[in-house]
Amino acid sequence: MASSKRSVLRPPRAAAIDSGQVTGKPGSDPQAVIAAIRRIAQAIRIASRRNERQRGASTAQMLVLSTLAGAREPIALKLLALRTNTHQSSASVVVSKLVDRGLVRRLRAAHDARLQQLSLTGEGRKIVASAPVDAASEQLLAALSGMARRDVADLSRLLHELVEKLETVQRERAAN
């Protein structure tokens, strides 16, 4: 009787997915897709933590530091967010942590004192020089390079479609 309740309330497949197992073969099962996305997110979190322990900066921080290192002159937060493909509020949080650690400095724009410009400090440059690539991106690039170009193109197209649909759902829920 307990097992029949379990199957009604929580099917065994859902329990397997919650435990991190991808239970189905590639196909049309949305739960298998969600489980695969969770495994990718977990791999990124693990690589980011390792990055932080080894290099003193998370993956997000390394992205900001390397983007600032590539800029020829100090840049505004809005431009940094655009270049890192990150929401401005998320970039602001990362920048604040880097400023607190003395790796990034905020400067007033010469042409408008209301605007802040961002640049690396000497310590920030040292971290970038010691760790030019973050582990998560490196692992993803290695995995993608092992796939056929057409599969990578299909994956890219489908992920962009998924992100657009997810953003639509989020906007609709925020409006309600």
Domain boundaries, the chain: 2-145
pLDDT tier for residue 136 given thresholds of 50, 70 and 90: confident
Structure tokens at 152: 């990578």
pLDDT tier for residue 124 given thresholds of 50, 70 and 90: very high
pLDDT at 132: 55
Structure tokens at 168: 């639509």
Could you write out the DSSP letters of every residue in 96-112? HHHHHTTSEEEEE-SS-
Per-residue pLDDT, averaged over 37-52, amounts to 87
Q: Which pLDDT tens digit goes with each residue over 12-27?
A: 444 444 444 545 566 6
Name which of 45-54, 72-81, 138-147 the model is least confident about.
Answer: 45-54
Q: Which residue carries 């992205």 as its tokens?
A: 63
Helix (H, G, I), strand (E, B) or coil at 118: strand
Taking the CA atoms of 33, 143, 169 and 95 in sequence, report the sign of the dihedral they define: positive
- Cα torsion through 56, 58, 62, 68, rounded to 10: -90
Structure tokens at 30: 């949305």
Which CATH code is given to the segment(s) 2-145? 1.10.10.10
Per-residue pLDDT, averaged over 133-157, amounts to 88
Name which of 19-28, 36-45, 127-136, 153-162 the model is least confident about.
Answer: 19-28
Alpha-carbon span 62 to 127, nearest angstrom = 8
pLDDT at 75: 95
Greatest mean pLDDT among 9-13, 69-73, 109-113 lies in 69-73
* Contact by Cβ (8 Å): 68, 75: yes
Helix (H, G, I), strand (E, B) or coil at 116: strand
